[in-house]
Amino acid sequence: MLSKKLQDAFNEQMKFEFFSAYLYMAMSGYFHAEDLPGFASWMRIQALEELTHGEKFFNFTCETGGRTLLQAIDAPTNDYASAIELFEFGLKHEKFVTSRINKLMDHAKKEGNHAAQIFLQWFVTEQIEEEANFSLILKKLKRVEGDGRGLLMLDQELGQRVFVPPAVGAK
């Protein structure tokens, strides 16, 4: 069972996960407008991942007897000066999400809520991957900066990403 304070924090995190999906859809739209379909596809898949993260918080809160409360989502940034600026923004966003997950884990530990800690451990590990992905793409973008051929090759590479939905019944 979740305490009221932890339930409220989980609801707030659920909102941030759904906001992340909204943000990455906006980024996908930016890349479509820039005629970079591989980047656009990569961001759409990123958005789908974030939706599943939000659903995980929704499901866990329900399963532990808590009350889910959906909150308003702010409008995301839609325009960027470049792909580099966009990925810098995305990396900064993921670092912010990591800090939020870590605070949730600290709170769950403080309350001695072992189920919440086990649940949150998946997100702690996931955030390592999220930051690493954004960081790697950012490094590649900086490496090919100014080289249109390199950008197109990277676009093709990112277009190979495939969304793998979680298994049925997976939390």
Could you read off the pLDDT of 1-59 as tens digits, one per residue? Answer: 899 999 999 999 999 999 999 999 999 999 999 999 999 999 999 999 999 999 999 99
Dist CA 82 CA 98 (whole Å): 24
In a domain, 165, yes or no: no
> Mind listing the pLDDT tens digit for each residue in 96-134?
999 999 999 999 999 999 999 999 999 999 999 999 999
Distance of CA 65 to the CA centre of its chain: 26
In a domain, 168, yes or no: no
What global pTM score does this model have? 0.93
In a domain, 12, yes or no: yes
Which residue range is the domain that position 153 belongs to?
4-70+82-158
Query: Which of 74, 87, 122 minimizes the C-alpha distance to 101?
Result: 122
